[in-house]
Amino acid sequence: MKKLLLGLTLTVGITGLVHAAGDPVAGEQKAAVCAACHGANGVSMVPNWPNLAGQGFNYLVKQTIDIRDGRRAVPEMVGIVDNLSDQDIRDIAAFYRQQPANLGQADPALAERGRDLYRAGDLAKGIPACTACHLPNGGGNGPAAFPAVSGQHPTYAVNQLKAFRNGTRDNDPNAMMRLIAEKMSDAEMEAVASYMYGLHGTNR
Q: Is 189 annotated as a binding residue?
A: no
CA distance 165 to 156: 14
Q: Is 134 annotated as a binding residue?
A: yes
CA distance 123 to 145: 25
Beta strands in 7-153 (DSSP E): none
Going by the DSSP 8-state scheme, the letter that residue 77 receives in this structure is: G
Q: Is 34 annotated as a binding residue?
A: yes
The torsion angles phi and psi of 82, rounded to 5 degrees, stand at -55, -35
Which helix (H) or strand (E) is 158 found in, with range? helix 154-166
3-state secondary structure 166-204: HCCCCCCHHHHHHHHHCCCCHHHHHHHHHHHHCCCCCCC
Q: Is 176 annotated as a binding residue?
A: no
Q: Is 177 annotated as a binding residue?
A: yes
Q: Is 133 annotated as a binding residue?
A: yes
What crossing angle do the helices spanning 186-197 and 154-166 adopt, rounded to 10°? 140
CA distance 42 to 92: 10
Q: Is 196 annotated as a binding residue?
A: no
Dihedral, CA of residue 163, residue 165, residue 58 and residue 24, to nearest 10? 30
Known binding-site residues for heme c equal: 34, 37-38, 77, 130, 133-134, 177
Known binding-site residues equal: 34, 37-38, 77, 130, 133-134, 177
